Every structure is written in C-alpha cells, then in structure tokens.
Amino acid sequence: MIEALTEPFEQGIGQRALVELVVLGVACGPLGIWVLLFRHGYAAESIAHGMLPGLVIASLAGLPLALGGAGGLLLAAGGIALARQFAAVGPDASVAVVVTFLFGLGSLLALSAAVPLRLGELLFGDPLSVSNTDLAASAALAGLIALGLAVLRRHLSLSGFEAASARSLGGSPARAELALLVALALTTLIAVQALGNLLVVALIVAPAAGALRINDRLGSAIRLAAVLAVASGIGG
C-alpha cells in the first residue's frame, strides 16, 4: 500500500508536482493568515477572475498568457485597494465591483474570433504540467512574497489589529492593504497553473483558518499555517 502511494513520485513529473505543491504551501499558508486578519477572504476567492481581460489581451497581442494574467491580477488588486478607501463602499462591495467589471470586460473581449480556445489554461490547474522553468519561477516568486511579508510584518500587524490607531503609531493602512493585495495577486498567479482558482482559495484560506483556531499567537499561527498548507497539498 505504501508503494502505491509513493510510486507516482518516483518519476520526474511527479517529483516536480510534489515540489511545486510544497512551494505553494509555504507561500499560501502564511499569506492566508494576513488575508483573514484583513478580512480579504472574498478577495482571495474572487481576484483570479480579474485575470480574464489580461489573458484575452495577451492572447490577441501574441504575448505570454502569464504576462497578461499578471497585469489583470495587479489591476484587480490596485482597484480593490482604491475602492476600499471610500467609506461608502464596503470591503465585499469593493471586490464585487472591481472583479465583476474586469470579468465582464474580459468576457466581451473574449468574443473576438481571434481568441484561442485554450484561453482557460491558467484558470484550471494541473500540477503534473509544471515544468522546471515553472518550478523555478514559483520558487522565486514565493521567496519574494515571503520576504515581503516578513519585511512588512510590523506595518501589516498595526493595520490588521489596530487599524484605527495605525497612523499615529507609524503605520499606513492603505499601503499595507495594497501590499497584501499585490502579494495575493502574485500568489494567485503562480498557483493557478498547478491548482486552479478554487484550490488556490482552499490552500490560502483553509490552513490559515485552522492555524488561527489552534494557536492565537501570530508567529506560531503563521508557521503552523505553512505546515498545514504543505500537508494539505501533499495529502490532496
């Protein structure tokens, strides 16, 4: 029975998929803690839809789909952060307005006959399709995101726990939120090829929610979320 479980990972294609899932778990778990503290669970579920106009434009222009997807995600992150600065717009409403607009725009652009049929390759995951180049890119971006979260930890903590008094303590809630949304967008970009939209959300939110239920200390919860995310990826 053990042999049946380990056999898929004896080949290079399975080993790359395993390493990719470990890398994504290390990136998604800790990020999920901040996503939940800033109450961006809905954004984590929806932001991937913002890729669509970027994907369509990239395909029409003959550019790499990943480049177009990155542009769409960063535009969605910036739009959500900007919309949340208006007091009359609630956090969920800001996500709904921005993502719905981008998705609708992408759907209209996709009506062009020149759009290839395989446009959805970044919207539905396949970990076995990961190449060495994809793996290196994922590891580099995951490391960059982890470094950014570590550097911005104080500002994220101030804005996440004490948003009302963050400015007087030297924090900037707007910048912290924008940085978090950009990190979420980049993580979504590197994860959708292997996991797809739905499983990206699961790997970001579920391990973090479990870690916060088990441990209420921030540092311990971040480490535990990474462990749970890696275990979920391997077990799944």
* Amino acid sitting at position 166: A
| Domain assignment of residue 48, yes or no | yes
Rounded Cα distance, 119 and 128, in Å: 19
The pLDDT profile of the chain, 236 residues, written as one tens digit per residue, is: 555 555 555 666 778 888 888 899 999 999 999 999 888 888 887 887 888 888 888 878 888 877 888 888 888 888 888 887 776 667 778 888 888 888 888 878 877 766 665 555 555 667 777 788 888 888 898 888 889 888 888 888 777 666 556 566 666 777 888 888 889 888 888 887 788 766 788 889 999 999 999 988 888 999 999 999 999 887 76
Q: Which two tokens stand for residue 128?
A: 């076995």
Q: Is 73 a domain residue?
A: yes
- The total domain count for the chain is 1
- pTM of the predicted model, to two decimals? 0.79
Range of the structural domain that residue 200 is part of:
31-119+130-235
Residue 20 lies in a domain: no
Residues in the chain: 236
Does residue 7 sit within a domain? Answer: no
Which of 40, 30, 37 lies closest to 161 in space, CA to CA?
A: 37
Give which of 178, 179, 176, 230 is closest to 206, Cα–Cα: 230
Residue (of 188, 175, 220) closest to 85 by Cα position: 175
